[in-house]
Amino acid sequence: MEAASSTRTHIALVSVPAFSHQVSILEFAKRLLHLHNDDTFHVTCIIPTLSSLSTPSKPFFHTLPPNIHCIFLPSVHFDDLKSNGVSLEIQLQLSVSRAMPSVRDTLRSLLGSANVVALIADAMVPEALEFGKELNILSYIYFPCSTMLLSLCLHSPTLHEEVSCEYRDHPHLIQIPGCISIYGKDLPNSVQDRSSLDYKLFLKRCQRYRGVHDGILVNSFVEMEEEATKAITQNGISNGDDVGDAHSNYPPIFQIGPIIQTGPSDPKIGCECLLWLDKQPRNSVLYVSFGSGGTLSQEQINELALGLELSKHKFLWVNLRAPNDKASATYFVGDGLVDDPLSFLPLGFLERTKGQGLVISGWAPQVEVLGHESVGGFLTHCGWNSVLESVVHGVPMMAWPLFAEQRTNAALVTDGLKVAVRPKGDTSGKSVVVKEEVAELVKRLMEGLEGGEIRRRMKDLQKFAACAVMEDGSSTRTLSKLAQKWKSLGRFYQKNIECGN
């Protein structure tokens, strides 16, 4: 990719070694450039790595605009984290922390050759903002998740003092400012064991969020999470109730979503499923995908398959992976797909469902699938990227959360927005959703009065999402104001350079 021009306003991004995070922050960069197509901005994204790029991610990076330059740092030492069996969150957090000296060196070299005015770091690496202070540039967090989760993060130091037991054992619903109240078991994985390193790192990140001076960019939009937005922007006051002085130091937030993956997909990926969808009736297919890293146990694969068969509804099941009792087993390994689903699907399942469904072990172009007129529902792990893609395309959801913050997202879309149905039990591997419940949920989502109401609410939310990113939409106005601020600083710095200051 071309080197940055010194006359452009330069923005530096810091991501993490997880493709879903990289997609989100780079799509933000693409949105910024799209709004200012006068060649004003150049973006450099610094990406710590754990291994080589996965096959499905390569087309995404190869099609980035020339004004976006990615620097992939050398892989950090990682084997000790995997071999010790530490959680996904700790693996991600500690591996990125080990890359911080390289991030700092890269930023310093950028400042020596480019007009850098702002640093924007992924929410998993708030420590990178220390380099922004050191280098005297604006510093922001890019929060690729919901405003509800951000409200929880900002409130967590207070919540830690208010609740003494494990959250999953708390007898009452957990109050999150400006949001629906949820059960403790639906809080993110990282807070489920208060004695764990996971929890300590989570609280440390939350404290750092409170100290972000220039602001937090959130991949959501006001119209979807209005009360959560108010709870943060009004210093913790929501619905007229003061929730405490501890909230008075909340940073400014900027709602800039929905940001989802855009651009052409690899023509070699997904041809089979798109051709199959072309032959199906409108709104007739349930799309099933557990994202880039989700895995199910053998028993759960069997029950899900048999439940889909029992429902009699059409389905498209993609990214099928080998059974694993650990829900996030392939999160860091994007190529961990199996070649032959016949080896672990129920005996005779594919033959019996021929014509009813299609199962593929490979990747699918998810945005194109969700935008296809034959898709009428989405069984999803509730990663935030997938939730927003479903909202943008107006597809109702069956929430099947597996790990990380996915249960919190599932509570939001099911109990808050009411655009999803959800199994009664724990879907992250501690219990099994049996085939009869799977079939019942599919029918509730795809047919009848309840399914119709969910579809209507989702179509309304889809309209709000479209409005937010229109020329005069709420998110577009917010991002435009930020861009103008950055451009003004860029012109100021450039003038000083030309004057020899």
What amino acid occupies position 23?
Answer: V
- Do β-strands 237-238 and 68-72 pair in parallel, antiparallel, or remain unpaired? unpaired
Residue of 42, 69, 122, 214 marked active site: 122
The residues near 245 (Cβ < 8 Å, ≥ 6 apart) are: none
* pLDDT band with cut points at 50, 70 and 90 for residue 240: very low
- Cα separation, 32 vs 64, in Å, equals 13
Q: In the predicted model, is pLDDT for residue 264 greater than 70?
A: no
Report, as an integer, the average pLDDT of 156-165.
Answer: 95
The answer to whether the CB of 103 falls within 8 A of the CB of 14 is yes
Select, from the ranges 52-66, 402-416, 487-501, the one with the highest average predicted confidence (pLDDT): 402-416
State the number of CA atoms in the 13 A half-sphere of 363 facing the CB.
21
Q: Which has more pLDDT, 330 or 177?
A: 177
* pLDDT band with cut points at 50, 70 and 90 for residue 196: very high
Of 88, 112, 141, residue with least CA distance to 324: 88
CA angle 59, 60, 66 (to 5 degrees): 105
Report, as an integer, the average pLDDT of 356-362.
Answer: 92
The answer to whether the CB of 177 falls within 8 A of the CB of 238 is yes
Is 79 known to be catalytic? no
**Hey, is 10 helix, strand or coil?**
strand
Is 122 known to be catalytic? yes
Of 103, 43, 95, residue with least CA distance to 73: 103
Q: Mean pLDDT score of the chain, rounded to an integer?
A: 89
Of 94, 80, 89, residue with least CA distance to 198: 89
- Cα separation, 252 vs 213, in Å, equals 8
Domains 9-144+469-498 and 271-464 share a fold: yes
Region 271-464: CATH code: 3.40.50.2000
- Cα separation, 451 vs 390, in Å, equals 15
Mind listing the pLDDT tens digit for each residue in 57-79?
A: 788 999 999 999 999 998 876 66
Report, as an integer, the average pLDDT of 123-138.
Answer: 94
The residues near 15 (Cβ < 8 Å, ≥ 6 apart) are: 21, 22, 25, 26, 45, 46, 47, 48, 122
Q: pTM of the full predicted structure?
A: 0.93
The answer to whether the CB of 125 falls within 8 A of the CB of 98 is no
**Hey, is 92 helix, strand or coil?**
helix
The answer to whether the CB of 337 falls within 8 A of the CB of 361 is yes
pLDDT at residue number 487: 93
List strands edge to edge, sheet with 138-143. 68-72, 41-47, 9-14, 116-122, 138-143, 216-218, 253-255
Q: In the 8-state DSSP scheme, what is residue 128?
A: G
* pLDDT band with cut points at 50, 70 and 90 for residue 492: confident
Domain ranges of the chain: 9-144+469-498, 271-464
Report, as an integer, the average pLDDT of 83-94.
Answer: 72
Residue of 21, 42, 372, 393 marked active site: 21
- Cα separation, 166 vs 243, in Å, equals 22
Region 9-144+469-498: CATH code: 3.40.50.2000
